[in-house]
Structure 1
Amino acid sequence: HIINGLHGMHTSPSHSAFFGALGGYRGSDGVPPSGPTIDYELSKVLPETLLPHLCIGMDSTENMKAKPTVANLSASGAGQPIFMHSNPNHLYQMLYGGISQGEIRKQHEARSSMFDQIEQLAITKGVGLHGINKQRYGQYVNGFNDINGLRERLNKVSGDLRKFAPKVDQRYTRPEFETDWHDVLLDLGISALKSGITSVLTIGSGRGEIFGAWKGLGVEQQGHNLGHMKQPDNPIWIKIRQYNSRMLVKLIQELDSVPEGSGTMMDNSLIVYTSNNADYQHTSGKNWPVMLLGNYDGAFKTGCFTQLDSKRPINALYTSILRASGVEIDRFNMSEQMAAKFDSSTGPLKEVLA
């Protein structure tokens, strides 16, 4: 289902709306999230999993190595960003280190011991802090608690996870191009869904920023310059979008291969393909195109093109997804005061729900 004509003018996108793209609120470089994002809210209402929500970010090799985790797109609440993983070696250790052998197992055990010690040390050092400093330090300590808790939960089901763990090859340790890491990051995300580790996966093909690199596709230019090129009929943009489309096809095929209920995992899934920056660079957000893949157990119409009039915000789509998930909600992250200016209606998008 292709949807054209939603808007995100209230998110102030320009180069990127950052957290605002999935939160439906003002977002910009350096602006902290003002509320939870739709992916996190979904993870709360779907059946509980070992890891409620997995975020993956793809970028140039240099950026992914220098900053293996960044937080730009997802959040669990105001001032509470969720980090995305960009180094597949670190992510593999996190998900499957407990069932691995050799060097991966050694690194996993060393990292586990270190995190346990850091958590205990951090707890004792926070005494005496007050106000905002105490709150921030609490989030810091909780981060280690989350990491250690996840490791313990994964260890308890290690036998069941073994058959889902991707095979580690030289793309992990000696990538020729950044797209090698992009490909194995996707494999890890798919394996986390198929194994039931998580039910919510967020993938940022440029980590929510104005960068991104695809040298493995023969695209030598990268980052900000790509946004200043004309996009229609541009062979560079065609290559990038075809690559993204192949990723989507792989995700669909993998989910469709897993029996679930009376059908497959894909029958019960919804893939939302969109941008963190609406329709083009330096955009006002007047048109925010979206493509929905799958019908989420019959909740969404498929095989359609819907043209809207730019009077309903992306929040209305997120409201629709939550409604389909059993949440009685008329607005997502939008006050009545904001809605008076940015939303011509209320409730979900009637054009997309079946």
Structure 2
Amino acid sequence: MNCQTFSRRTLLRGMGTAVALPMMNVMSPTRLLAAAATETPVPLRMGFFYVPNGAHMPDWTPRDEGSRYQLSKTIERLKDHRDKFNVLSGLTLDGARAHGDGGGDHARSVAAFLTGAHPRKTNGADIQNGISVDQATAQQVGNATRFASLELGLETSSQAGNCDSGYSCAYASNMSWRGPANPMAKEIDPGALFDRLFAGDSVKQTRQAKSVREKYRKSVLDFVLDDAKRLHKILPSVDQRKLDEYLYSVRDVERRLGSTELLRVGEDGVPDYPRPKGVPRGLDKHSELMMDMITLAMQTDSTRIVSFMFTNAGSNRSYSDIGVSEGHHELSHHGKSAHKQEQIATINRYHIDRFGYLINRMSSIREGEGSLLDNSMIIYGSGISDGDRHNHDDLPILLAGNAGGKIQSGRHIRYKNGTPLCNLYLWMMQQMGAKADQFGDSNGLIDKLA
């Protein structure tokens, strides 16, 4: 390995383990092979983060527009990064409306969130939706990375059953769709996701490496240590620090994964440290592990496209850790109750805090002339506005990152109410290099971002 043959496609390898590398200064086009010199030195990423049951809109929507707007009570939680995101008001998801199908707004809000389509009302096998923006983009540009896309979340996906007024659970628990009848189940197990990101080149190698790691209680980094040491010697000092920080992050995530289960003791009294099974019970720890690995996946260019569902549609999860003992869905039908609206606002602030953790992590990763977040465009929001009204216009939408300089961040932008959310998606697809002149119910490209 030498700097003349070093590119961002380089992997540290050993014992069936492959660890991708972060963006480094030596990966600039002038340092790559001629065959790789045409690659974009800093790739652009896109992500979509969904929260259920809408938002308490008075605490969400800023009063003023432009860059001098005052942060609302909910969005104020991101004040340390206010120059890294835009709040977008007025965007609409027409596909989530009833259109004669009656109840089922929660299921429709998820099914339409990334597709812009109106899902067929059925709880049988004849589901019909549209392709989602992440998959439409991945089908065109996903071959540039190890994983065309990652579909993640904190609650399991279902592919059958009746989940909302006659709508299949496939609609309520999946927002990523490879095709009209093909929902993409999400991964919720941090341990399984870690194994996917740091797997070998074959299933056999991956299983062998995992077995050895468990037997000898080793880190994935122990198997690639020789490769890492050789690389470290030939890097300039600034990249040596980047490599050290990245490898520390990998080991830290792995350490925290290992603590997600209680310590087991074998018959001989010797502690056993198996790979974690299941997910952490605490939502804080679960979400942070997933956000850390999303950061690692994007940092190493393992993928450029991520979708993430905090919970499934109509989730009735309670949040006792933050003083909310009632179910989220039940509270969203607040009937203008001041108590219920305050509880909803509390949940909203909790979710935005979880997203803020990701924003903080991505902002801390230096890349090119900016950060990992600077080279991304990350949507956060819901397919419902006010949970009591079940309306799908003027949605709570936040766009983080500035797409490598293509977005002027730090503003509240108000669009004409009724503007299709898919206008934004179409613009994002084109920035990613996907060829498209229409998506979902788009009627043009979003403006005011540059």
Q: TM-score surpassing 0.5?
A: yes
> How well do the aligned residues superpose, as a CA RMSD in angstroms?
3.6
- Identify unmatched segments of 5+ residues in structure 1: 111-154, 335-342
Give the letter for the 1:5 counterpart: G
Paired residue for 1:217? 322
Kindly tell me: are residues 182 and 162 of structure 1, through their superposed partners in 2, closer, same or farther at Cα, counting changes over 3 Å? same
Aligned partner of 2:405 among 294, 298, 301: 298
Q: How does 1:110-125 map to 2 (within 5 A)?
A: none
Contact 1:15 1:282 in 2 (8 A): no
- Identify unmatched segments of 5+ residues in structure 2: 1-85, 98-103, 161-169, 213-222, 229-245, 263-279
Contact 2:130 2:179 in 1 (8 A): yes
**Offset of 1:281 from its aligned partner?**
4.5
Paired residue for 2:439? 332
Paired residue for 2:261? 173
Aligned partner of 2:115 among 19, 23, 44: 23
SS at match of 1:23: coil
Give the letter for the 1:92 counterpart: F
| Whole-angstrom CA distance in 1 between matches of 2:174 and 2:115 | 11
Work out which of the two has the higher radius of gyration on C-alpha atoms and give 1 or 2: 2
| Whole-angstrom CA distance in 2 between matches of 1:34 and 1:213 | 30
Paired residue for 2:236? none
SS at match of 2:294: helix
Give the helix-richer structure, 1 or 2. Answer: 1
| Whole-angstrom CA distance in 2 between matches of 1:35 and 1:319 | 14
The reply to whether residue 39 of structure 1 matches residue 134 of structure 2 is yes
**Offset of 1:108 from its aligned partner?**
4.6
CA deviation vs aligned residue, 1:232-285 (integer Å, no higher than 9, x gap): 784433332222222333222222232323322221111111113344255131
CA deviation vs aligned residue, 1:269-312 (integer Å, no higher than 9, x gap): 11111113344255131322311111101222322222223232
Give the letter for the 1:300 counterpart: I
> TM-score normalised to the size of structure 1?
0.68
Paired residue for 1:49? 145
**Offset of 1:20 from its aligned partner?**
1.0
> TM-score normalised to the size of structure 2?
0.55
Kindly tell me: are residues 240 and 231 of structure 1, through their superposed partners in 2, closer, same or farther at Cα, counting changes over 3 Å? farther
Contact 1:2 1:291 in 2 (8 A): yes
Contact 1:15 1:209 in 2 (8 A): yes
The reply to whether residue 277 of structure 1 matches residue 384 of structure 2 is yes
CA deviation vs aligned residue, 1:290-342 (integer Å, no higher than 9, x gap): 111111012223222222232321111111212333445332123xxxxxxxx
Paired-residue identity, % = 21
Paired residue for 2:90? 5
The reply to whether residue 241 of structure 1 matches residue 348 of structure 2 is yes
Kindly tell me: are residues 300 and 212 of structure 1, through their superposed partners in 2, closer, same or farther at Cα, counting changes over 3 Å? farther
| Whole-angstrom CA distance in 2 between matches of 1:164 and 1:32 | 41
Q: How does 1:53-202 map to 2 (within 5 A)?
A: 53-59=149-155, 72-96=174-198, 108-109=210-211, 164-165=249-250, 166-169=253-256, 172-173=260-261, 175-202=280-307
| Whole-angstrom CA distance in 2 between matches of 1:95 and 1:199 | 13
Contact 1:15 1:277 in 2 (8 A): yes
Paired residue for 2:444? 347
| Whole-angstrom CA distance in 1 between matches of 2:290 and 2:398 | 22
User: Number of residue pairs matched?
Assistant: 288
Kindly tell me: are residues 178 and 302 of structure 1, through their superposed partners in 2, closer, same or farther at Cα, counting changes over 3 Å? closer
Give the letter for the 1:58 counterpart: L
Kindly tell me: are residues 109 and 279 of structure 1, through their superposed partners in 2, closer, same or farther at Cα, counting changes over 3 Å? farther
